[in-house]
A and B are shown apart, each in its own frame.
Chain A
Amino acid sequence: MNSPHDLIRYDLQLIASWIEPGSRVLDLGCGEGDLLQHLIARKGVTGTGIEHNEQKVARGIEKGLSVLQGDISQEVLDYPDNAFDYVILSQTLQQVYEPAALIRSMLRIGHKGIVSFPNFSHWGIRLQVTFSGYAPVSRRLPYQWYETPNIRVITLKDFRKFVHEVGLRVLDEVAINTHSQDRYGRIIAFLPNLRATYGIYLIGKE
């Protein structure tokens, strides 16, 4: 196996910090498997990833990871209850067609869920809508409304409310300011819904 990057993306570093060593992890939308590779090397986890893109799946398998090609909303249905300690959905929630069904499945097949997503109520986005009148386009979310894969517009407050409504519980949360591919960032404690670019949540059952 290749040696893991010393530093993975900042949001992934925070996710990794929540994972107990030796646990079983499922990463939904794992890309080329950077997080899994990091978790296997640093935390000794048993990891599986699910990814839609053939090229990325192949890269993950070539690295020596266990990766399944498929649609995350479908693939989560086949696992037995509590097959994993953590099920991770990193920066993908905003692209999911049925988020409630997915998040319930995550907590069926895993003891805990970790969800991260871009915060659409960041002040930069608010200002753009207010003053330009156009749907916001930024460096972090660089898509026009007609080509964006991000079909769900979520804010940190929305997500907390959503978790409660689907009958689950937020166990821990961290709001951060970083760019999507950056290895560095900072935690936002003051007015996170306004100032954070991403939110990361640890979710459990009631």
Chain B
Amino acid sequence: MSEYIEHDRERVSVGIVEKKHFTFAAPPNAMELESGARLGPVTIAYETYGSLAPDRRNAVLVLHALSGDSHVAGYYTPADEKPGWWDCMVGPGKGIDTATYFVVCANVIGSCMGSTGPSSPNPATGRAYGLDFPVVTIGDMVAAQKALIDHLGIEKLLCVVGGSIGGMQVLEWSVRYPQTVFSAIPLATTMRHSALAIAFNEVARQSIMADPHWDHGNYYGGEKPRLGLAVARMIAHITYLSDESMRLKFGRRLQDKSDFSFNFDADFQVESYLRYQGTKFVERFDANSFLYITKAADYFDLGKQHGDGSAVKACSKAQAKFLVISFTSDWLYPTYQARNIVNALKKSGRDVSFCEIEAEWGHDAFLIPGERLKTLIHGFLERVHDEFAA
């Protein structure tokens, strides 16, 4: 996902928030991963907004995408330049209303934003894990989140919601822990990556691994693979946009010049923009985490993992009520992939709503402030909140 974070126009916000940490699975009780490897201790960075109702039936778990973190909404300090990554959706009176719901978001394991990942110290060596960090899956990320939810004393989540890789976690939650999920909103996502999606991820990974500073993941304490990660980000970023949004945003306009430079500087605005996005990303994200999380997304296959190859069988394990949402211009996870989710849910007898939102912004549409998505989520949550309370 990209960054579209802006201050709320009306300055409505959940306010000052705090990143917290929860550590579990200390050896010998290390967490067993899907690969068979063990990981422990595991730390999860998370944030909560709003308050848990006395009956504990108002908890909404937000799940972030590739480059996201636990900071969904609000500000860490009054001086922060930007709020959390989904501030347009989460806050008082917003789509996910923090006056009504207790909102939780945790950074996925394998990431670099406070949860245990390849840049965390390996207890066996005292140095960063690097490639000694085990390959984690979407299922492992969700299993770690479940430990947090148990720790917070939430027996059943009112809703799990997320887009893109966050949407994969939504689907995983609903079949892995059916008793714990009352409703689910998978946005702009898929039950498994297409060859196209895997191909883009592989090109991005190759870019990181081709950087001499990557050094098989052992770059901590030295020069980082800045160039490789920046190019990986540029590739990924293109897949989040659309032909139309790029035409509207950049067209063939030139950057700070009136004619071609006849060299390989950034002539076009789109070149300059992607370079800027890549450079900025390097400041905040770890290259190895990019490798691990994209691999987890490529491995994800709901039907294979939970239904012996059948998506319908996998969905039959779910008990939640679903709201599936896709966007017309999303070519990374096109609407037909959302319809595959809907079809599997229908065949397995689940209660499912589906809306394909007309949007020109491509895959990233779910992050961009928009009335349609806001009112859909708001209305759906209001309904399931009533039904859960009943």
Instruction: Give Cα distance in the complex from A200 to B366, angstroms.
Output: 42
**Are B358 and A68 in touch, CB under 8 angstroms?**
no
Question: A57 at the A/B interface (Cβ < 8 Å)?
Answer: yes
Find A61's partner among B339, B342, B349, B376 (CB 8 Å cutoff).
B376
Per-position binary interface string of chain A over residues 62-81, scored 1 when its CB falls under 8 Å from any chain B CB and 0 otherwise:
11111111100001001110
**Are B379 and A61 in touch, CB under 8 angstroms?**
yes
Question: A182 at the A/B interface (Cβ < 8 Å)?
Answer: no
In the assembled complex, the CB of B381 is this many whole angstroms from the nearest CB of chain A, namely 10
Residues on B with C-beta less than 8 A from A68 are: 342, 346, 352-354
Chain B interface main SS type: helix
Q: Which chain A residue lies CB-closest to B386?
A: A1
**Are A66 and B378 in touch, CB under 8 angstroms?**
no
Q: Which chain B residue lies CB-closest to A64?
A: B383
Instruction: Give Cα distance in the complex from A64 to B375, angstroms.
Output: 11
Question: A178 at the A/B interface (Cβ < 8 Å)?
Answer: no
Question: B202 at the A/B interface (Cβ < 8 Å)?
Answer: no
**Are A69 and B378 in touch, CB under 8 angstroms?**
no
In the assembled complex, the CB of B345 is this many whole angstroms from the nearest CB of chain A, namely 9
Question: A48 at the A/B interface (Cβ < 8 Å)?
Answer: yes
Question: B198 at the A/B interface (Cβ < 8 Å)?
Answer: no
In the assembled complex, the CB of B367 is this many whole angstroms from the nearest CB of chain A, namely 19
Question: B247 at the A/B interface (Cβ < 8 Å)?
Answer: no
Question: B285 at the A/B interface (Cβ < 8 Å)?
Answer: no
**Are B354 and A70 in touch, CB under 8 angstroms?**
yes
Question: A83 at the A/B interface (Cβ < 8 Å)?
Answer: yes
Per-position binary interface string of chain A over residues 114-140, scored 1 when its CB falls under 8 Å from any chain B CB and 0 otherwise:
000000000000000000000000000
Residues on B with C-beta less than 8 A from A65 are: 353, 383
Question: A58 at the A/B interface (Cβ < 8 Å)?
Answer: yes
Residues on B with C-beta less than 8 A from A66 are: 321, 351-353
Find A64's partner among B343, B346, B372, B386 (CB 8 Å cutoff).
B386
Question: A158 at the A/B interface (Cβ < 8 Å)?
Answer: no
Instruction: Give Cα distance in the complex from A58 to B358, angstroms.
Output: 11
Question: B20 at the A/B interface (Cβ < 8 Å)?
Answer: no
Chain A interface main SS type: mixed
Question: A54 at the A/B interface (Cβ < 8 Å)?
Answer: yes
Residues on B with C-beta less than 8 A from A78 are: 342-343, 346-347
Q: Which chain B residue lies CB-closest to A63?
A: B379
Residues on A with C-beta less than 8 A from B352 are: 66, 68
Instruction: Give Cα distance in the complex from A83 to B347, angstroms.
Output: 9
**Are B343 and A58 in touch, CB under 8 angstroms?**
no
Instruction: Give Cα distance in the complex from A83 to B348, angstroms.
Output: 10
Residues on B with C-beta less than 8 A from A62 are: 375-376, 378-379
Residues on A with C-beta less than 8 A from B347 are: 78-80
Question: B356 at the A/B interface (Cβ < 8 Å)?
Answer: yes
Residues on A with C-beta less than 8 A from B380 are: 61, 64
**Are A58 and B372 in touch, CB under 8 angstroms?**
yes
Residues on A with C-beta less than 8 A from B17 are: none
Instruction: Give Cα distance in the complex from A75 to B353, angstroms.
Output: 12
Residues on B with C-beta less than 8 A from A69 are: 354-356
**Are A61 and B357 in touch, CB under 8 angstroms?**
no
Residues on A with C-beta less than 8 A from B383 are: 1, 64-65
Q: Which chain A residue lies CB-closest to B384?
A: A64
A selection of 23 A-B contacts at a CB cut-off of 8 Å is A54-B358, A58-B355, A58-B376, A61-B376, A61-B379, A62-B375, A62-B376, A64-B383, A64-B386, A66-B321, A66-B352, A66-B353, A67-B353, A67-B355, A68-B342, A68-B354, A69-B354, A70-B342, A78-B342, A78-B343, A78-B347, A79-B346, A79-B347
Residues of B at the A interface (CB closer than 8 Å) are 321, 323, 339, 342-343, 346-347, 349, 351-358, 372, 375-376, 378-380, 382-383, 386
Given contacts A48-B351, A58-B372, 9 further A-B contacts (CB under 8 A): A46-B351, A54-B356, A57-B355, A58-B357, A61-B353, A62-B379, A64-B386, A70-B342, A79-B346
Residues of A at the B interface (CB closer than 8 Å) are 1, 46, 48, 54, 57-58, 61-70, 75, 78-80, 83
Interchain residue pairs A-B with the least CB separation, the first 8: A64-B383, A62-B379, A78-B346, A68-B354, A78-B343, A66-B353, A57-B355, A62-B375
